[in-house]
Chains A and B, each alone.
Chain A
Amino acid sequence: MNINVENNNGLCRLRIEDEMTISTAAELKRVLFDNLAGCRELEVDLSHVNEMDTAGFQVLYLARREADISNKVFRIVSPGPKILSVLQLYNMKDFFGI
């Protein structure tokens, strides 16, 4: 997994690459939360993610929940088919505004 971070005036753009799975979930959580703490708006680009399992989903869910609690904007963009199928299966597209 590779995460590309771009900070711009309170808007943070993260681009995650490869997989969001249990093998990378700890790392994913750390990066997401580190960046969430320092911004007003977090945008997560999932277009380069080719795999997401339940561990990856949980971290994504947690980040969104944390953003809501602290009144920040959280948005995922360009989810690929793998991501969509998980969100579809879990009936969580609405939660992420997709």
Chain B
Amino acid sequence: METDPVLQTFIIESTEKVQEMESALLQLETSPEDEDTINALFRAAHTIKGSAGVVGIDNVEKFTHTVENVLEKVRLGEIRVTADLIGLLLRCCDHIGHLLESLSAGKDPEENPELKTEGQAIAGELSAYLAVEGQGISAEPDKETTAQGSAPETLTWHISLRFGRDVLRDGMDPISFISYLSKLGEITGLTTLTDAMPPAQEMDPESCYLGFEIDFRSDAGRQAIEDVFEFVQEDCEINIAPLHGNKPSRKAADTAAGKQTQTRESGSKVGGTIRVDTDKLDQLINMVGELVIANANINQQAKRIGDNSLLESAFALSRLVEDIRDRAMKVRMVPIGETFNRFRRTVRDFSRSTGKDIRLLISGSETELDKGVIEKIGDPLMHLIRNSADHGIEERDVRLALNKPENGLIHLNAYQETGSIVIEISDDGSGLNREKILKKAVERGIISPGQELSDREINNLIFEPGFSTAQKVTNVSGRGVGMDVVKRNIEALRGSVEVESREGKGTTVRIRLPLTMAIIDGFMVKAGASFYIIPLDMLDECLEMSDEEKHLSFKRNYFSLRGTVLPFLRLRDIFNEPDGGNQREHMVVIRYAGGKTGLVVDELHGEVQVVIKSLGRVYRDVKGISGATILGDGTVALILDVPGLVRNGTRKRRSGL
């Protein structure tokens, strides 16, 4: 490999810094409070990180950044120096050393899986320290979006500049900024304003009194132009506006108010994000929901009238509304990573208190979920992880005897799958014991002896109320919360949960959650006098039932779907709807939790998009309903809680109904 002098310098220098870190750490062992030593330690890590970033050694930079974050907290007194921390930091030094060795040998550390695992493991332990304070937000400015904003379109801009009095004293010269500006495009007009300059006696030759009105043609985009003046933006009035011909023109001679907004705009860009009260956000999303409904109504009317240009306009409006809806929804989406990271600590603490050595592997942190879901999913996840750690992963000697790696592994993973988000909690523990589950289920009267169940059904018995197979109740998971509560909590989020297990190999619990909480695509049906909405992703097919089929089915209590048995429910019966005297009925086949169930309804009304309203008191206790919505014409439709319906139906059948 060709020796790059910059890389060589970096390696030599960073190796020295690692040694400095080590000796500082060893010193801290005897005097853990010594401020100078802590500062020296921080500085060394800081230098490694900074250099790595500038030289472009990403893995060293990323890793050292985490180390630096921990050290920053140590420096601020938020984390105490303990023997454990020193031990961990020494391992950090080793790891950085390994990365440097690899670089020095001309090998990319990224291609060395062992090094990667080592780094991930240590970084995981480090972030446990950071998680204490609720994870510092990495304020990585979104460069991509900024770049996207500047489409390569040549525009004419008007730039008004009023330099602050002190800029010259601070070493900033308008000449330099304007010259730099001219590198980005063409200055087509410039007026130097000198009217702020006082009479000669009062004029301070070190103050700046100049202002400029500049016409500027460039394809650089607003952000790039603003950036030219980034160093003076705090002390100067800067107003950048696109000029006539470009879209809405804003003249330089803007009102004072206009100017203020501009300045504030450019000021707020620095942070890149703003905090918004969730109530405001919810109101906005609610309004967007109303917009969707109103739009649906317009579409209906347009179809009824049948005027082509009206239909076209309505269609264009729909597209915009859908776009707004999607964007509004995205505002509520937050990555699940932060929630996941909280469990590092849980697992670490568990490992310590029980002596089981368990590693937590996290992936899919960037997967985004609705904020409301994120807030509510923490508890169920916590329970499942504790369950894996406690009941799933075996004691160390058992694992060794089984020829399994000494360390247990829990893997938290999240990803998006059509229409839903999947969260998986897997462990490499003992898996579920089929016989034990069956025995317990019979004991508890959940199933009758001799009942034939598939493996899947057996595994999922653990979610039944009152089920627990733990041999001993530990202080970790034995908190009186059963898996049934976990399941209920998840279903309350319109999600579902299932478990997959291989005996001796491990267990995977898979949670499916809807992408969004506020709006669903549904299928509308009518039963009796009421409208019901079935979530579209659960709809399988719709069939018309002949009279003959109807009679036969009601006699047998199941429907024959192309030769297979389909259990079904009649919405009219469930919700005590009066018989509308409608002779024709339809069978809607829904797919849920790996099985199919039929719903008998009176009328099919097709696909709709509805905004979920929380239920009023009247409906809150109605089983089988998860929400309500208001249709374009003002009628209320009820959203079916399919998991709830299916569960109740199954139970009724089991108990011999």
Chains A and B share a contact (CB less than 8 Å): yes
A interface residues (Cβ-Cβ under 8 A, vs B): 22, 25-26, 28-29, 33, 53-55, 57-59, 61-62, 65-66, 86, 89-92
CB distance from A85 to the nearest CB of B (A): 9
Tell me if B648 is interfacial: C-beta within 8 Å of chain A. no
How many interface contacts (CB-CB < 8 Å) are there between A and B? 55
- A22 pairs with B169, CB closer than 8 A: yes
Tell me if B191 is interfacial: C-beta within 8 Å of chain A. yes
State which of A29, A58, A59 has its C-beta within 8 Å of the C-beta of B210: A58
- A89 pairs with B175, CB closer than 8 A: yes
Chain B interface bracket (under 10, 10 to 19, 20 to 34, 35 or more): 20 to 34
- Of A26, A29, A55, the most chain B CB neighbours within 10 A belong to A55
The interface residues of chain B lying within 8 Å CB-to-CB of A66 are 200
CA distance A62 to B452 in the complex (A): 101
CB distance from B568 to the nearest CB of A (A): 83
Tell me if B197 is interfacial: C-beta within 8 Å of chain A. yes
CB distance from A70 to the nearest CB of B (A): 10
The interface residues of chain B lying within 8 Å CB-to-CB of A58 are 197, 203, 205, 208-210
- A55 pairs with B206, CB closer than 8 A: yes
- Of B168, B169, B179, the most chain A CB neighbours within 10 A belong to B168
CB distance from B158 to the nearest CB of A (A): 15
- B197 pairs with A54, CB closer than 8 A: no
CA distance A54 to B205 in the complex (A): 10
Q: What are 9 residue pairs bridging A and B, where the CB atoms are less than 8 Å apart in the complex?
A: A25-B206, A54-B173, A54-B208, A55-B206, A58-B203, A58-B209, A65-B197, A91-B191, A91-B192
Which 4 pairs from chain A and chain B are nearest by CB?
A25-B205, A90-B192, A29-B205, A91-B190
- A28 pairs with B205, CB closer than 8 A: yes
CA distance A26 to B203 in the complex (A): 10
B175-199 to A contact mask, C-beta < 8 Å, 1/0: 1001100100000001110100100
- A22 pairs with B191, CB closer than 8 A: no
- B175 pairs with A54, CB closer than 8 A: yes
- B179 pairs with A89, CB closer than 8 A: yes
CA distance A89 to B187 in the complex (A): 9
The interface residues of chain A lying within 8 Å CB-to-CB of B192 are 90-92
CB distance from B232 to the nearest CB of A (A): 12
CA distance A62 to B179 in the complex (A): 23
Instruction: Identify which of residues 199-237 in chain B touch chain A, using a CB-to-CB cut-off of 8 Å.
Output: 200, 203, 205-206, 208-210
CB distance from B318 to the nearest CB of A (A): 52
Tell me if B174 is interfacial: C-beta within 8 Å of chain A. yes
Q: A61-B197, A90-B190, A90-B192 are in contact. Are A53 and B205 (CB under 8 A)?
A: no
CA distance A92 to B169 in the complex (A): 23
Main secondary structure on chain A at its contact with chain B?
A: helix
The interface residues of chain A lying within 8 Å CB-to-CB of B182 are 89
- A55 pairs with B178, CB closer than 8 A: no
CA distance A22 to B182 in the complex (A): 23
CA distance A24 to B31 in the complex (A): 54
State which of B168, B174, B190, B197 has its C-beta within 8 Å of the C-beta of A62: B197
Q: Closest B-chain residue to A25, C-beta based?
A: B205
CA distance A57 to B190 in the complex (A): 16
The interface residues of chain B lying within 8 Å CB-to-CB of A54 are 168, 173-175, 208, 210
- A89 pairs with B178, CB closer than 8 A: yes
- Of B182, B203, B208, B210, the most chain A CB neighbours within 10 A belong to B203
- A53 pairs with B175, CB closer than 8 A: yes
Q: Closest B-chain residue to A29, C-beta based?
A: B205
The interface residues of chain A lying within 8 Å CB-to-CB of B209 are 58
Other 11 A-B pairs with CB < 8 A, given A26-B205, A91-B191: A22-B168, A25-B205, A29-B205, A55-B168, A55-B205, A58-B205, A62-B197, A62-B200, A62-B203, A89-B175, A92-B192
The interface residues of chain B lying within 8 Å CB-to-CB of A25 are 205-206
- Of A58, A61, A62, A91, the most chain B CB neighbours within 10 A belong to A58
- B175 pairs with A59, CB closer than 8 A: no
The interface residues of chain A lying within 8 Å CB-to-CB of B191 are 91
The interface residues of chain A lying within 8 Å CB-to-CB of B168 are 22, 53-55
The interface residues of chain B lying within 8 Å CB-to-CB of A59 are 205
The interface residues of chain A lying within 8 Å CB-to-CB of B175 are 53-54, 57, 86, 89-90
The interface residues of chain B lying within 8 Å CB-to-CB of A86 are 175
CB distance from B13 to the nearest CB of A (A): 36
The interface residues of chain B lying within 8 Å CB-to-CB of A29 are 203, 205
CA distance A59 to B208 in the complex (A): 11
CA distance A65 to B201 in the complex (A): 13
The interface residues of chain A lying within 8 Å CB-to-CB of B173 are 53-54
CB distance from B103 to the nearest CB of A (A): 45
CB distance from B197 to the nearest CB of A (A): 6
The interface residues of chain A lying within 8 Å CB-to-CB of B174 are 54
- Of B174, B175, B208, B209, the most chain A CB neighbours within 10 A belong to B175
Q: Closest A-chain residue to B201, C-beta based?
A: A33
The interface residues of chain B lying within 8 Å CB-to-CB of A92 are 192
CA distance A11 to B210 in the complex (A): 30
The interface residues of chain A lying within 8 Å CB-to-CB of B210 are 54, 58
CA distance A92 to B209 in the complex (A): 15
CB distance from A81 to the nearest CB of B (A): 14
Q: Closest B-chain residue to A55, C-beta based?
A: B168
Instruction: Identify which of residues 513-572 in chain B touch chain A, using a CB-to-CB cut-off of 8 Å.
Output: none
